[in-house]
Amino acid sequence: MDNAELRTRVGAAHLLASYTYFADSGRLGPLVDLFLPDAVFRIDDDTNVGRDAIEAYFRSAGESFRSVDILPGRHHLSSVYIDPHPEGGAATYACFQFVGVRGADHWGTYRDEVVEVDGTWRFARRRVTVEGFAVDSPLVPAGRRAPGA
C-alpha cells in the first residue's frame, strides 16, 4: 500500500465516522457540509440532490425521530470496505444499525462515492438502503408493515 492509497483509506474512513458522529449529535450544519454542493443522497426511493435538499431531508428525519421519542440514538458501522479509485476518490461500503432508546430501530447499508477536495473528503453520492426496521420505526414506509407486525 503506497502513501496515496493509505491517505485515501484514512480520509474515507474519517468521512464515514464524521457522518455518524454529526448525525448522532444533531450537528446538522457540519453533517450537510460533508456533501459536495451537488451531491446526491438517496435513501431507498427518496433522492435528494444538493445540500439544500439533503439538509431538508435530515431536518424532516430528525423531526420524525423526535416525535416518537427514540432519541438519543447511535449509528453503528461494520463491514466497512474502502475501494480507492486509481484516478482519485473511492467507493465505500458499510453496514449500519441505528439503535435508539428503545433498541434497534433500523439497519441496512451505505454505498458511497467519495472524493477529496482541497484536502477534505466529501460525499459525491450516498445511497442508503434500509434493509429492516422495528415495528414502530418512523422509517416504516406508508402502506408497508415492519417484520412481525
Contacts of residue 62, defined as CB under 8 A and 6 or more positions apart, other chains included, come to 26, 28
Would you state the pLDDT for residue 135? 83
Cα distance between residue 111 and residue 99, in whole Å = 20
In a domain, 47, yes or no: yes
In a domain, 145, yes or no: no
Cα distance between residue 38 and residue 9, in whole Å = 23
How many domains are there within the chain?
Answer: 1
Inter-residue contact 104 to 134 (CB < 8 Å): yes
The answer, yes or no, to whether residue 148 has pLDDT greater than 60, is no
Identify the band that residue 141 occupies on the pLDDT scale cut at 50, 70 and 90: low
Bigger pLDDT: 30 or 133?
30
The stretch 99-124 carries a mean pLDDT of 95
Cα distance between residue 96 and residue 131, in whole Å = 10
Would you state the pLDDT for residue 2? 86
Residue-wise pLDDT for 50-94, tens only, equals: 999 999 999 998 888 888 888 899 999 999 999 999 999 999 999
Rounded to 5°, the CA angle 103-93-13 comes to 90
In a domain, 136, yes or no: no
Which CATH number is 45's domain given? 3.10.450.50
β-bridge pairing 120-133 and 74-84: unpaired
Cα distance between residue 24 and residue 74, in whole Å = 6
In a domain, 48, yes or no: yes
Rounded to 5°, the CA angle 141-142-143 comes to 110
In a domain, 147, yes or no: no
Domain range for 123 is 1-131
Would you state the pLDDT for residue 63? 86
In a domain, 140, yes or no: no
Identify the band that residue 145 occupies on the pLDDT scale cut at 50, 70 and 90: very low
Residue-wise pLDDT for 33-46, tens only, equals: 999 999 999 998 89
In a domain, 11, yes or no: yes
In a domain, 5, yes or no: yes
Would you state the pLDDT for residue 65? 83
Whole-prediction pTM: 0.90
Inter-residue contact 58 to 33 (CB < 8 Å): no
Max Cα distance, the chain (Å): 51
Average pLDDT of the chain, as a whole number: 91
